[in-house]
A and B are shown apart, each in its own frame.
Chain A
């Protein structure tokens, strides 16, 4: 079971008068099969938090522990753009991030490609696929290393509404099936409410403003009353924060 423990996390950029606080005293525990969305206005530090969790940046103060059953957890990533190697086929893109080239590994890659409904596209190059299909390959790649935790940074923000919706459904299905922990950064509150069982709202200046549990059953229809109420609640929180900031 994966676990993320964040204690007194503090991050600043620059020195002196140029100093900018990106994250301020964040304390947070995420455990088990959760789907956690991090939302907030731009400049609230959500990307910084993800960068620290993924090890791209180091915290100024505080600690971050990502473990799975006592050992260091293996992370997987889905980026805003698919970030595929354009000169390798879909299958080779998945194989690129694997530790070995054994038959088991190949079969596993194929299984995840089928899960994102691209089982027959393994021999295609990314340039031959649509944007939505490329992002699916990115998702399959992240799942294919069977990580303990999956980090996703606005993976659907570049896609049109309909493709994004279809992919959200697939993602939910995969999360449900694989029982992985997902940490999902987004600026789309509707998306967060549709997918997550927990939403962390960050305010400008990097404070963790609200920690909202959403215990509605899946699949969630945005038109559903309860889902709409939850979305309205988060949006209201957003507006309050916006007022505070201005």
Chain B
């Protein structure tokens, strides 16, 4: 129903006058409101999806058995959401199991990776010793770790957790090492000139200067680890998100596979929005806001007179 109404607009045909007016006003609105643009993107995506399926089915009627429509996927996701599922464990149990594994692997990768990164950043010898194998782990696809670990550990938690660690740890090591190499020397000199005690320097200079690198490390480790975990669960799990998507694949339910993949994305986005973003906003309050930068650029010409204005005002 929605489709037929909006089809002329989406297809770019000759729309009636009213939508035409809306169309001309739309670009300006989108430009003004990033939220609107954000919302429009999925709407547009679903439209293209639904419309292209209709087109494909015109040519190949059996497509309906293989290619799920948005509404089928939506219905599947809703059933999962209300825990009405054919799988052995419902959505929440499944994601809880996966999250537990992800968090264990993530925590271990962060702790070990930070220690390794600190050692490699501080000592040339350690760096020379570890550099090549770090790169080797970095180059290894998560799939290889997943297969290898499922052969060794069989179908328990250890395989997936180890896969998360191995997939994530090189990113932690490399980021923390760069952080240590980029510590602000001039701030340490300043602290020494003012005879600030070492413990205070670590707390107020070293740790905050490492924070951006730790955050980059955590984000990479989390997202790469998550992808590794899903693969590991496909091969070496009896439950969890990866295992469940394989379950739908084995059951020849295309909408199940697509729907579960969508849950992965939603899970990752929710985690980013609800965990990383708030922590990052708090930790990096000191960073000049994007707006401030823009304003400074815009007023670049006046900047030279800033000091004068400041004093004149007093």
**Interface of A with B (CB < 8 Å)?**
54, 56, 75-77, 79, 81, 83, 85-89, 96-97, 117, 125-128, 130, 132-133, 145, 159-160, 162-167
Q: Are the C-beta atoms of B190 and A160 separated by less than 8 Å?
A: no
Q: Are the C-beta atoms of A128 and B307 separated by less than 8 Å?
A: no
Residues on B with C-beta less than 8 A from A97 are 191, 194, 196
Within the complex, what minimum Cβ distance (angstroms) separates B155 from chain A?
46
Within the complex, what minimum Cβ distance (angstroms) separates A51 from chain B?
10
Q: Are the C-beta atoms of B308 and A96 separated by less than 8 Å?
A: no
Partner of A166, one of B186, B193, B311: B311
Residues on B with C-beta less than 8 A from A86 are 286-287
**In the complex, what distance in Å separates the CA atom of A126 from the CA atom of B286?**
8
Q: Are the C-beta atoms of A166 and B208 separated by less than 8 Å?
A: no
Residues on A with C-beta less than 8 A from B186 are 79, 81, 83
Q: Are the C-beta atoms of A166 and B190 separated by less than 8 Å?
A: no
Q: Are the C-beta atoms of B200 and A96 separated by less than 8 Å?
A: yes
Q: Are the C-beta atoms of A77 and B308 separated by less than 8 Å?
A: no
**In the complex, what distance in Å separates the CA atom of A125 from the CA atom of B283?**
13
Residues on B with C-beta less than 8 A from A164 are 307
Interface of chain B: mostly helix, strand, loop or mixed: helix
Q: Are the C-beta atoms of B310 and A132 separated by less than 8 Å?
A: yes
Produce 1/0 per residue, B279-314, CB < 8 A to A.
000000111100010000000000111111011001
Residues on B with C-beta less than 8 A from A88 are 204, 208, 286
Within the complex, what minimum Cβ distance (angstroms) separates A77 from chain B?
5
Q: Which 4 A-B pairs have the closest CB atoms?
A: A163-B307, A127-B288, A97-B194, A125-B286
Partner of A130, one of B285, B307, B314: B307
Q: Are the C-beta atoms of A96 and B196 separated by less than 8 Å?
A: yes
Q: Are the C-beta atoms of B194 and A77 separated by less than 8 Å?
A: yes
Within the complex, what minimum Cβ distance (angstroms) separates B157 from chain A?
38
Residues on B with C-beta less than 8 A from A160 are 303-304, 307
Contacting residues of chain B (79-94) with chain A, CB-CB under 8 angstroms: none
Q: Are the C-beta atoms of B205 and A128 separated by less than 8 Å?
A: no
Q: Are the C-beta atoms of A166 and B288 separated by less than 8 Å?
A: no
**In the complex, what distance in Å separates the CA atom of A77 from the CA atom of B285?**
27
**In the complex, what distance in Å separates the CA atom of A207 from the CA atom of B36?**
69
Residues on A with C-beta less than 8 A from B211 are 87
Q: Which residue of B is nearest A167, CB measured?
A: B307
* Given A54-B193, A86-B286, A128-B288, A163:B306 Cβ within 8 A: yes
13 contacts between A and B (CB under 8 A): A75-B193, A79-B186, A83-B187, A85-B208, A89-B286, A97-B196, A117-B311, A127-B288, A160-B304, A163-B304, A163-B307, A166-B308, A166-B311
**Interface of B with A (CB < 8 Å)?**
186-187, 189-191, 193-194, 196, 200, 204-205, 208-209, 211, 285-288, 292, 303-308, 310-311, 314
Within the complex, what minimum Cβ distance (angstroms) separates A93 from chain B?
9
Q: Are the C-beta atoms of A87 and B286 separated by less than 8 Å?
A: yes
**In the complex, what distance in Å separates the CA atom of A147 from the CA atom of B303?**
33
* Given A77-B194, A97-B196, A166-B310, A130:B204 Cβ within 8 A: no
Within the complex, what minimum Cβ distance (angstroms) separates B179 from chain A?
14
Partner of A87, one of B194, B196, B208, B311: B208
* Given A83-B190, A145-B194, A166-B311, A127:B200 Cβ within 8 A: no
**In the complex, what distance in Å separates the CA atom of A159 from the CA atom of B310?**
14
**In the complex, what distance in Å separates the CA atom of A113 from the CA atom of B285?**
22
Q: Are the C-beta atoms of A117 and B314 separated by less than 8 Å?
A: yes
Within the complex, what minimum Cβ distance (angstroms) separates B203 from chain A?
10
Partner of A159, one of B189, B191, B307, B311: B307
Residues on B with C-beta less than 8 A from A77 are 190, 193-194
Within the complex, what minimum Cβ distance (angstroms) separates A106 from chain B?
16
* Given A87-B208, A96-B204, A97-B194, A162:B304 Cβ within 8 A: yes
**In the complex, what distance in Å separates the CA atom of A77 from the CA atom of B192?**
11
**In the complex, what distance in Å separates the CA atom of A165 from the CA atom of B187?**
26
Q: Are the C-beta atoms of A163 and B190 separated by less than 8 Å?
A: no
Most chain A C-beta atoms within 10 Å of own C-beta, residue among B189, B288, B307: B307
Q: Are the C-beta atoms of B204 and A85 separated by less than 8 Å?
A: yes
Q: Which residue of B is nearest A160, CB measured?
A: B304
Q: Which residue of B is nearest A125, CB measured?
A: B286
